[in-house]
Amino acid sequence: MLKQIEGSKAMAEAIALCRPEVICAYPITPQTHIVEGLGELVKDGHLTDCEYINVESEFAALSVAIGASAAGARAYTATASQGLLYMAEAVYNASGLGLPIVMTLGNRAIGAPINIWNDHSDAMSMRDAGWIQLFAETNQEAVDLHIQAFKLAEELSMPVMVCVDGFILTHAMERIDVPEQPQVDAWLPPYDPVQVLDPAEPISIGAMVGPEAFTEVRFLQHYKQTQALRLITDYARDFEKAFGRESGGLLRAYRVDDADVLVVAMGSVCGTIKDVIDEMRDEGIAIGLVTIVSYRPFPTDELRKMLAGAQDVVVVEKSIAVGVGGPLANNVDMALRNLPDAPRLHSAVAGLGGRPITKPSLHRLFRQASVQPWEGTHFLDLNERIVGREIHTTRKKRRSGPTAENLLRRLATEGDAR
């Protein structure tokens, strides 16, 4: 049914349609509205046969989900930013034990400095944790990905993280098609666990594993993610057949035909990028976009095929692996490796801590890539003036004080003239 609705509310309704049996809730902006929405649906009787548990931390949230999932219940939780880090140990544990938990991540920056706004550093912190990580471009896709996520998780017995941009998606009011219960029931079978704690058939789960089998356990985890590459494509196709719209999949192409410049990005920023591409195409520039939906497993081969013909590839990402550069750019680099006449790779970090990614800045960036390429990682719209002055001060003065506060003070007294 078409609704004018907040993204978080729509996601809550979609998750409820998947009939989760245990939901663990803990507040953290910008994910909070999702679990609040679910709490309401349980309390007012819309979602039945569901235990909604207000836990005392994110570590407990995921731990409760681990227990519920191991005992055969469909388990769900949501978090963001600091919350994801707080549950880090359990994140690895859930995937290591092969438990098909679904978790929404309302993407938000990680502190310090504390920042509640959107970027992808939280998701990146867990990119090697053995979870499938899917990034939604729109709220419609966020709704649809959750439905696909449960099916994917349970088929593979592997947890899935649905990443949705904080505020930009979670707090946006827009027109969203929320499916009907019979549609979802027909598409998503009940959870049939591959391992379950059952007194009738007692098993031990979580034994210590030494060097004799640890590599093999990890290999099988990796193998399952390579299987997921196929399954994610298949399920997206099935989903389109059943629900009548395209959502999910490994990656999506936009105006890539004959493109000299290809942009690679994830999440909601792809909307802005598409607008810029349309404008540049109107000006006769052959440019296109590849949207990565599945960051883990990473669709290396599929991406390679898509990027092969381009001259320049520009990766725009909302995260920075400090000391290295953009993590997405690194993975794209992997796809380009060994490609004869590989396109040049340009890495840009943008939108950190919620900084708006504007069309004029993207225009400049994409043009610069082919005419005046940069070395290393480019920080889009970096305020070079205050950065320069801070570097200067720290060189001159030993006790220069806390960096973040220094920058804020400079901005307040000197203004944002760049």
Q: Which residues pair with 348 in a beta bridge?
A: 316, 378
CB of 71 to other proteins, least distance (A): 4
Place of tokens 């052959």: 286
Pick from 336, 327, 319: nearest CA to 379:
319
What does the alpha-carbon distance between residue 180 and residue 196 come to, in Å, rounded to a whole number? 30
What does the alpha-carbon distance between residue 93 and residue 404 come to, in Å, rounded to a whole number? 34
Are 262 and 288 contacting, i.e. CB atoms less than 8 angstroms apart? yes
Q: Which is nearer to other proteins, 66 or 310 (CB)?
A: 66
- At residue 214, what are phi and psi to the nearest 5 degrees? -65, -45
Q: Which is nearer to other proteins, 53 or 382 (CB)?
A: 53
The residues near 332 (Cβ < 8 Å, ≥ 6 apart) are 264, 303, 307, 313, 315, 345
CB of 61 to other proteins, least distance (A): 8
CB of 153 to other proteins, least distance (A): 16
Are 56 and 85 contacting, i.e. CB atoms less than 8 angstroms apart? no
Q: Which is nearer to other proteins, 96 or 353 (CB)?
A: 96
CB of 159 to other proteins, least distance (A): 13
CB of 201 to other proteins, least distance (A): 8
Q: Which is nearer to other proteins, 75 or 369 (CB)?
A: 75
Q: Which is nearer to other proteins, 101 or 134 (CB)?
A: 101
Q: Which is nearer to other proteins, 59 or 135 (CB)?
A: 59
Are 101 and 45 contacting, i.e. CB atoms less than 8 angstroms apart? no
Instruction: Provide the residue type at 384 as one letter.
Output: E
CB of 259 to other proteins, least distance (A): 47
Q: Which is nearer to other proteins, 210 or 415 (CB)?
A: 210
Are 262 and 307 contacting, i.e. CB atoms less than 8 angstroms apart? yes
Q: Which is nearer to other proteins, 49 or 180 (CB)?
A: 49
CA torsion 384-387-389-390 (nearest 10°) is 180
CB of 199 to other proteins, least distance (A): 5
Give Cα 255 distance to the centre of its chain: 23
The residues near 341 (Cβ < 8 Å, ≥ 6 apart) are none
- The residue ranges that bind other proteins (CB under 8 A) are 21-22, 24, 49-51, 53-57, 59-60, 63-73, 75, 89-90, 93, 97, 197-199, 201-209
Q: Which residues pair with 105 in a beta bridge?
A: 79, 163
CB of 38 to other proteins, least distance (A): 14
Q: Which is nearer to other proteins, 73 or 169 (CB)?
A: 73
Place of tokens 């960036």: 365
What does the alpha-carbon distance between residue 258 and residue 61 come to, in Å, rounded to a whole number? 48
What kind and span of H or E run contains 347? strand 344-349
Q: Which residues pair with 291 in a beta bridge?
A: 252, 265
CB of 72 to other proteins, least distance (A): 6
Q: Which is nearer to other proteins, 193 or 326 (CB)?
A: 193
What does the alpha-carbon distance between residue 411 and residue 303 come to, in Å, rounded to a whole number? 41
CB of 33 to other proteins, least distance (A): 23
Evaluate the omega torsion of the peptide bond into residue 113 and state whether it is cis, within 30 degrees of 0.
yes
Q: What DSSP designation does 381 have?
A: T
